[in-house]
Structure formats: C-alpha cells, structure tokens
Amino acid sequence: MSSMQSLKRRIKSAKNIKQITKAMEMVAASKMRRAQAQALASRPYSRKLETTLSTIATLTDPSQHALLESHQEGVDLIVIFSTDKSLAGSLNTNLFRGTLEYLSQSSAPSSPHFIIVGQKAKQFVVSNSFTLDADFSGISDPVNFQAAIPIAQFLIDNYLNHTYRSVTICYMDFVSTLVQKFRTMPLLPFAAAWASMLENPVETISHGSKSQYMFEPNPTAILDWLLPYYIEIIIYQTLLETKASEHSSRMVSMKNASDNASDIITDLSLSYNKQRQAKITSELLDNATASLAVA
C-alpha cells in the first residue's frame, strides 16, 4: 500500500494534469466550433462543384483539355492529410490504418509516392519507407484558401508533365464531433467512372437524352480556369475537413482525459482518507493504551 506522502504527491500530479487537459479541452472546443462552421459552410459549394464537374468530365471529349486525359507514364501519388500536433485521440491512427488498408487492396497502387500535409503523416511515410515527394505541413489555423493553391499547383504541374499518372487524396472526413471517417478520393485523372465514387452520384444519362454543353468563349478557355479551380477547391475543403476532425477529436480526447483524471483523484483521495483515518485510529488506541498503563 502506498504511503500517505506518496498518495498526496499522486493526487497533486493528477490535479495538475486535470488543469492542463481542461484548459486544452476549452481551447480545442473554441477552435472546433470555428473549424466546424467553416467546413460545413463551404461543403455544399464544393460538393456541388464536384458533382457538376463530374458530369462535365463524363460528357466532354477528353481531348478538350490535358487534365481530362489519362496517361500511363509516371507514378501513382497519394496526398495524405494529417495533424501537425499530437493529442488528437485515435484520429491519426485511424487515418494511417485506413491508408494501409487502401494500399493493400488489389486496385490500389503497388508502390505509390506520397505528398504529406501534417507532421504526423511525415512520420507515417518515413517509418513505412514510402517515397516522400513533397511536404506541405504547417498549414495555418484557421485555414485560408491561399493554403490550397501551392498544393494544387504542384499536383497540376506534375500531372501535366507526366510525373504522376494518378492522384488520390486520403483524409479523415468530418461527420460529427464524435465521428470522423476515413475517406479516399481520386483527384486525377478525371474519368467517366469518377461520378460513381461521389457521395451523391450523378444519375446515369441515357443515350437518347444525352446533354450537351456549350462553352463560351470556347472549351479550352473555360476548362483552363475551371479544372485547376476545382482542384484548389477540393484541396481547400479537405484541409477544412481535416481541421474540423482534428479539433473535434482533440476536444473529445481532452474531455475524456479530464474525466479520467477526476476519477483517479477520487480514488486516490478515498485511499488517502482511509489511511489517514486508520492512522488517527491507531494513534487514539496508542494514547488510550498509554493512559491505562499509567493508571
């Protein structure tokens, strides 16, 4: 059994830990509300752009733009979005587990290269001896649209020069404060079958009622702006989803840590009080025995 002095030290340590986790919980809760509002506000726009562009990619001749064309040269690339900091619960663990499961599938690339967004993803790539092509960690919080532009431009340039033949993003999609789901999404190339991978797939269009698109001033001018902009929007939305997931997971983790610290303090205080009561009882017995001996 621990001594009373040891129990007092452990109680003090647990109280200090609880103060820290409580403060971190409050900070994470504040950031979480802002990140969730930001992610949810931009989600309808990005999802609508996603479905609209998938329809255009389905019904447009791939020769109209280089980003619509598939090629076999180059390597497969995975862009993985993680947190920069620890103490985010099982968020990163689930992200890395999902990525490894994706890689183990027969349809997944056998030896992909990686671009990482987040220091934890860098540790994952290095520890698994994967090839790291670029590091875009250190994204500001709150996220702004400018953070997505260099990532999107890097992907576009290397796809157009045939360094990469496919680009897939892996991240934790924000569902609710308690739920974040692993998601993979093909980003490049744009393919006709891509629409079936969306959350709300575009309905199949029969040959008899096939829609036609008219481009003004011309298809090349429109697609030159629309396709890179789409990639920037998807990267931006992914950054928002990642931040919302991170702060939600950290807030829940810190709340659980604070609750656990409270339970530990309660148990240790009970043990301490029992030992103190036993010590007082023992001293009273000693005094009574001594009094009887003197009498």
| Domain CATH number, residue 8 | 1.10.287
Residue 105 has which token pair?
């599938």
Could you tell me if 211 and 261 lie in one domain? no
Could you tell me if 151 and 204 lie in one domain? yes
Residue 130 has which token pair?
């994967």
What is the CB-side half-sphere exposure of residue 161 using CA atoms within 13 A?
6
Asked if residue 7 lies in contact with residue 265, where contact means CB atoms within 8 angstroms, the answer is: no
Q: How confident is the model at residue 243 (pLDDT cuts 50, 70, 90)?
A: very high
Predicted local confidence at residue 196, as pLDDT: 43
Domain assignment present for 41: yes
| CA-wise closest residue to 265 among 8, 3, 11 | 11
pTM over 0.85: no
Q: How confident is the model at residue 226 (pLDDT cuts 50, 70, 90)?
A: confident
Could you tell me if 192 and 280 lie in one domain? no
Could you tell me if 237 and 258 lie in one domain? no
The pair phi, psi for residue 143, each rounded to 5°, is: -75, 140
Residue 50: pLDDT over 70: yes
- Gap between the Cα atoms of 142 and 154, Å rounded: 22
Could you tell me if 228 and 268 lie in one domain? no
Residue 290 has which token pair?
């001594």
Could you tell me if 84 and 124 lie in one domain? yes
Predicted local confidence at residue 281, as pLDDT: 84
Q: Give the domain CATH number at 209.
A: 3.40.1380.10
Could you tell me if 151 and 81 lie in one domain? yes
Domain assignment present for 257: yes
Residue 124: pLDDT over 60: yes
Predicted local confidence at residue 239, as pLDDT: 94
Could you tell me if 17 and 117 lie in one domain? no
The residues pairing with 164 across neighbouring beta strands, listed in sequence order, are 75
Domain assignment present for 114: yes
Domain assignment present for 224: yes
> What is the tally of structural domains in the chain?
2
Domain assignment present for 26: no
Mean residue pLDDT of the chain comes to 83
Predicted local confidence at residue 282, as pLDDT: 80
Residue 205: pLDDT over 80: no
Residue 257: pLDDT over 60: yes
Mean pLDDT value across residues 134-144 = 88
Range of the domain at 276: 4-21+253-288
Could you tell me if 12 and 156 lie in one domain? no
Which has the higher per-residue pLDDT, 4 or 175?
175
Q: How confident is the model at residue 106 (pLDDT cuts 50, 70, 90)?
A: low
